Structure 1
Amino acid sequence: MFLIIPGSLVLGFLFAPLLHRFVPAVPYLFAYVTLTMALGCGIGHLKAVIRKPGIMLWTFILAHVLSPLIAYGLGVLVLGADSPYVVGLVLFTIIPLGISTVLWVGMSGGSVPLILAMVVIDSALSPFVIPAGIHFFFRTDIEIETGQMIADLLLIIVVPTALGVLLHEATKGRIQGAVHPYSAPLSKLCFVAVVALNAAAIEPYLTVLRGDLLLVVPLAIVMVGVCYAVGFFGTAPLRNRELQVTISYASGMRNISLGIVLALGYFSPLAAVPVVLSIMIQQPLATLHHYVLHKLNNSKAGAKPEGQVR
């Protein structure tokens, strides 16, 4: 992911004139990516999360309430309330948890069933969360077609998620293993295509961005880092490493491709710029976060024998 996503962006920018005609295919490509993710989640996973609603609710508060407030405040402070980049910063924090989060949680010792179920549930709630969040922050400045946005989110997220869960249940979980050799590579290709096509869509507006790079790029880096920190420190009182790993990745990584689709479809193209920058930033920061978690875990493990000697 560290190499694939920036590479896809570069390809999208370089071959923008050739790719523009295929941009309308993005929602359908994205729906397939969502479907392949949902094949690994059954009703049992969802029930396990629902039995502990406090953890899920707290994660969503950190990710979709506290983080958007910080994004809005930081954006207005640095760029001003009328800047379209502020919309992009807020949009980054209210879009659903990222699919690639599952990979990082698994590598870092978090709870894969928990993050998988939360991604599915958060995605299913996105038709309500995203319009509500946008209206809360920008109701006096921006008008959007909420009904159309909900319809698009149903197509991109909810329908393929429901279909994936039903297929998982109908085959008792066997379908993911059976189709994985074919679905996984195709899903990665679709993901690459989504990123490249969205990059091609915003390529004409890059000239406008050049004058703002010195402000927007550092701000996007800080905002993505803050989202990781919100999850990490927000779960520190729980004293549960597995939950802390899981929720810190959940709050730090978002479904960026969906964010770009929505930004380009409903707002100024410049609003998509912080979302695109976040694509390039959240994966490298995920690597750094993994390193920090690994070091912290090793330091705690090394401290236990010392305490026993004393």
Structure 2
Amino acid sequence: MKSLASFSNFVGKTFALWVIVFAVLGFLFPDTFKQVAPWIVTLLSIIMFGMGLTLSVDDFREVVKRPFDVTIGVLGQFIIMPLLAVILTKVIPMPPEVAAGVILVGCCPGGTSSNVMTYLSKGDVALSVACTSVTTLAAPIVTPFLVWMFASQYLPVDGWAMFMSIVTVVLVPLALGAALQKIAPSVVKAAVPALPLVSVIGIVLIVSAVVAASKGAIAQSGLLIFAVVVLHNGFGYLLGFFAAKAAGLSLAKRKAIAIEVGMQNSGLGAALATAYFSPLAAVPSAIFSVWHNISGALLANWFSGRLDEEDKAKISQTA
């Protein structure tokens, strides 16, 4: 069991590498990885179930203890990223399916990998986890509404069906995971070390399936979509950081909110785009999955060397 936990930890730390490898494999062997496409929703449900296993009451205590900080993070997530997506689709000419996909990934909640990146950046991890939890729970209502408001100009949007999908794929597995944690804590404790491995397998298979299904479109428009994703992600980090700074938050909190805003639950975006739009619309989410893990790791590394006086005092007390 210890060797499995060590391997799982290694795979989790090298997540970005595996996403890139499987994206390439999906492009090179589309017929093989297209077979994964019918399982995208199931894979995402398994990932969200794993997240439910790790949720704790303490995650939500942070919301009560620090409502202002969490509100800044949640509003940043659901205002900055959707508006950035809309601006990019207006400024950069792109096919309607791609535009809808860019907006969809911008309207998704925060991704769980943001919590890891916040930890690596020496940011406020508790705030990051609280923001991820709140945006994930709010997603069934907020995400379909935002997608309907901003993306219906490009493709028809069935907000109610999208709401039901997110409830089924996100909330139900989360609730089941949290319930199992209460019913069988010893079983969950034994399973938790393997969760990074399960999450990585799920995400890389989703990415490879989306890439395989859209190989032709990626060959034709891949560089354009990549450029849009890089801009979307980068400006998300930047505006998230300065929104937190404008709110008077400490550097550790600014790091958390910058990373939280810039990193999306792109697995959810890919699943929704595949189900309600087209395989091409899922490509921005797939590329986002690859890129935000690379950029997040680079940003975390840069952030980790920047501490304010409050952070230095905490480190000196624990030393």
Give the TM-score normalised by the residue count of structure 2: 0.84
Match of 1:242 in 2: 252
Matches within 5 A, 1:180-199: 180-199=192-211
Matches within 5 A, 1:44-63: 44-63=58-77
Match of 2:172 in 1: 159
What are the Cα deviations for residues 269-308 of structure 1, in whole angstroms up to 9, with x where unaligned? 3322322222222122112211321232289989xxxxxx
> What is the letter of the counterpart of residue 33 of structure 1?
I
Match of 1:100 in 2: 113
Do residues 272 (structure 1) and 282 (structure 2) align? yes
Match of 1:220 in 2: 229
Matches within 5 A, 1:5-154: 5-79=19-93, 83-154=96-167
Partner Cα separation in structure 2 for residue 10 and residue 267 of structure 1: 23
Identical amino acids, percent of aligned pairs? 24
Partner Cα separation in structure 1 for residue 287 and residue 202 of structure 2: 20
Q: What is the alpha-carbon root mean square deviation over aligned residues?
A: 2.5
- Measure how far apart 1:117 and its partner are: 3.0
Partner Cα separation in structure 1 for residue 127 and residue 188 of structure 2: 18
Task: Say which is worse superposed, 244-253 or 261-270, in terms of deviation.
Answer: 261-270
> What is the letter of the counterpart of residue 196 of structure 1?
S
1:301 to 1:44, Cα distance in 2 relative to 1, 3 A = closer
Partner Cα separation in structure 2 for residue 150 and residue 90 of structure 1: 16
1:119 to 1:24, Cα distance in 2 relative to 1, 3 A = same
Task: Say which is worse superposed, 18-27 or 47-56, in terms of deviation.
Answer: 47-56
> What is the letter of the counterpart of residue 193 of structure 1?
L
Give the TM-score normalised by the residue count of structure 1: 0.86
Q: 2:240 aligns with which of 203, 208, 231?
A: 231
Task: Give the secondary structure class of the aligned counterpart of 1:98.
Answer: coil
Do residues 289 (structure 1) and 299 (structure 2) align? yes
CA contact (8 A) 1:43 1:169 kept: no
Return 5+ residue gaps in structure 2 as ranges.
1-14, 313-319
1:213 to 1:16, Cα distance in 2 relative to 1, 3 A = closer
> What is the letter of the counterpart of residue 229 of structure 1?
L
CA contact (8 A) 1:231 1:252 kept: yes
CA contact (8 A) 1:71 1:223 kept: yes
> What is the letter of the counterpart of residue 102 of structure 1?
N
CA contact (8 A) 1:97 1:255 kept: yes
What are the Cα deviations for residues 189-247 of structure 1, in whole angstroms up to 9, with x where unaligned? 2232222222222224334xx2x445433222111100111111111242412211211
What are the Cα deviations for residues 4-54 of structure 1, in whole angstroms up to 9, with x where unaligned? 111121122222212323311111111111111221212332132134322
Task: Say which is worse superposed, 261-270 or 4-13, in terms of deviation.
Answer: 261-270
- Measure how far apart 1:121 and its partner are: 2.4
CA contact (8 A) 1:42 1:169 kept: no
Partner Cα separation in structure 1 for residue 226 and residue 194 of structure 2: 37
Return 5+ residue gaps in structure 1 as ranges.
303-310
